[in-house]
Structure 1
Amino acid sequence: MNSYEPSRAYRLGEWACDLAAAALLWWLLSPLSAVVFLGLTRLRSVRRARFFDLGRFTVGVCMGPRVKFLFGVAFTRYNGVGRISGFEVLIGRHSLMVCALAPRDEWKTRMRRAAERRAALEKGGDR
């Protein structure tokens, strides 16, 4: 497996070319074609998994086995029961997914416990 990481100048040049092509598509065809082109080129440039937590959900891109194109759902197991936790689109080796980190009721309990822990730490720190 190649662990080559392109230089910053290379990545900036890649962005500049992609933005120029997207602007041309915007002007010649439509804004939608430009947005789709830019999104797909950025998706194809990902070399390692990147996820961002947005509250109860996580959004990210990761590498997987090579397929042409596939829609799917992501499953997770909560208490031994498999449930749908999100949506996934596979394009080539890249998987774009949006998943819930926990079921809604568990998330509320988790946030309440975290708030209780923070309050206990603040109270213990005041002594």
Structure 2
Amino acid sequence: MKKIYQLGVEATLEVIGGKWKPIILCHLGQGPLRSGELKRRIPQVTQKMLTQQLRELEHDGIISRQVYPQVPPKVVYAITDEGKSLRELLIAMSNWGEQRIKRAQANGQPIELSHQEHDGFLAL
């Protein structure tokens, strides 16, 4: 069956939509990581959700999964060239969010940005 999108943004959101995928990509933008290291860097995500998001990103060709034959198995995730093509989009999203937070802070809203840089996206 033919897939039909109403807008191009639908195809983008299908691949990187959701709370965790852009965060995962930011961390992987700094270099290949094992699942356990990603979990430590994103403590709010459950292991089940992290695994699901990694599988989806791999299925869509955004990240690669390298399994090393050792005991216990070592699995490393890295961004593919297709994933690197998201660089400008992710930087723009990050900049937009940072400006929104600054406006909210200026209006007296109790909001904080823990990490004020998006180095992972810059390194893509």
* TM-score above 0.5: no
Higher relative contact order (CA 8 A, sep 6+): 2
Question: Based on CA coordinates, which of the two structures has the bigger radius of gyration?
Answer: 1
TM range (shorter): 0.3 to 0.5
Higher helix fraction: Structure 1 or Structure 2?
2
TM-score (structure 2 length as normaliser):
0.33
Higher strand fraction: Structure 1 or Structure 2?
1
TM-score (structure 1 length as normaliser):
0.32
